[in-house]
Amino acid sequence: MIYYVIAFIVFLVDQGSKWLIKTRLELGEHVSVIGDFFYITSHRNRGAAFGILQDQRWFFIVVTIIVVCALVWYIQKIKSQPDKLLPLALSLVLAGAIGNFLDRLLMGEVVDFFKFNFGSYTFPIFNVADSAIVIGVALIILDTLLESRREKQREGQQEGKE
């Protein structure tokens, strides 16, 4: 149950921050947080990460429903295992997927607002849901690497016993 609580809290933070952006800033307006490096801005994205697949709303809705079902199924499957990193990671991905799904379903676009500039390069604008997905995927990769290491250690222990 804790993993769904975590996902729900992240979802609420995502939706609350998007609501603040929609109600406090005009579209395209931005506020400097750290000089020219970091801005809070009001931006809409009708596509996926980095603006790819613009105006493919129904595609994203169908894919997200499938992904959310798969995530819930997998969290249920692994939640009682001793490893807690993977279900935590999956709960973050779940929260992010549902957060952006709700935007697409209700408005046809996702509210983005974190904007970072690295010299003349502007990183694609993103939101809390996107951050949760990226952090979740990074934790999944970390868990995979750690599991690989654990398997090698178990194999080494098995060989030592023989």
Which are the catalytic amino acids?
112, 130
How far is residue 162's CA from residue 90's CA, in Å, rounded to a whole number?
37
What ranges in the chain are assigned the alpha helix state H?
A: 2-24, 57-78, 85-107, 128-161
How far is residue 21's CA from residue 90's CA, in Å, rounded to a whole number?
27
Tokens found for residue 33? 């947080």
How far is residue 98's CA from residue 95's CA, in Å, rounded to a whole number?
5
Q: Cα 104 from chain centroid?
A: 15
How far is residue 22's CA from residue 99's CA, in Å, rounded to a whole number?
15
Query: How many other β-carbons are positioned within 10 Å of the β-carbon of residue 11?
Result: 22
How far is residue 81's CA from residue 19's CA, in Å, rounded to a whole number?
37
